[in-house]
Amino acid sequence: MARKLAVIGAGLMGSGIAQVSAQAGWDVVLRDVTDAALTRGTDGIKASYDKFVAKGKLAAEDAEAALGRITATTELDAVADADVVVEAVFENLDVKHDIFRSLDKIVKDGAVLASNTSAIPITKIAAVTERPEAVVGVHFFSPVPMMQLVELVRGYKTSDETLATARAFAESVGKTCIVVNRDVAGFVTTRLISALVVEAAKLHESGVATAEDIDIACKLGFGHAMGPLATADLTGIDILVNAANNIYTESQDEKFAPPELMRRMVDAGDIGRKSGQGFYKY
């Protein structure tokens, strides 16, 4: 298959996708709106490669070659000849619409336009393009170099060919895919974790059990590697509240309505590991 990838957004997810793809032999154009964001992204990629080299999991010359396959740019036109484009920007439909409208005009015919969204329906994103059959969800998990899973999401008009190309891309960078055949908000994984985190937060909020004990129950009772409240802290309370809200708005299913505790934590800035305080102190 063709091997030119464009990644829109050089944040944690975008830079992670660029990193694993360059390592797998793809030529990558990494695009963000500011040079500062690009520098943070590429510095993060280099630091991650250095860690793999130090642990003996990646040869130094392979890391060097992979870095050489990444081109950072603020120009959206630089993605014109990409075979696969992955959008990995903030979870906001208006922002994504702006990007996909532009990509639709710039990117060559036959290219796959993918979104890394975790909760917004692909059909809604695809609707602003003239080629909804070429738009697909390719949802990576954080941190991208460590997490094996990719969720492929079929929009209402996504073609079989687009899905097959997206799968070939994800598998070529070492991931295992699941396919979401109906484009429901939150897909499979975000619905599952949102429902679990919301219920865990409600149990904690109403004094049924401590955060620690709820997490221990899930780890020892269900074999989860990490409890739901520790997972929320790792992901970011703000991100999970946003995702659960998106699903609730679409589905009107009460089990996805974020409890007051989580909304207040976001108001107070206690959004998990990145702020030093969430359900736990860091």
DSSP class of 219? I
274 is in an annotated binding site: no
Provide the token pair at 135: 């738009």
One-letter amino acid identity for 147? M
**129-134, long-range: CB < 8 A, 24+ apart:** 129/100, 129/101, 129/103, 129/104, 130/104, 131/104, 132/156, 132/157, 132/158, 133/157, 133/158, 133/159, 133/162, 134/110, 134/159, 134/162
Three-state DSSP state, 117? coil
142 is in an annotated binding site: no
Distance of alpha carbon 97 from alpha carbon 92, whole angstroms:
9
DSSP class of 184? -
Residue 198 CB-half CA count within 13 A: 22
48 is in an annotated binding site: yes
Distance of alpha carbon 259 from alpha carbon 279, whole angstroms:
13
List the binding residues for CoA: 48, 55, 118
List the binding residues: 48, 55, 118
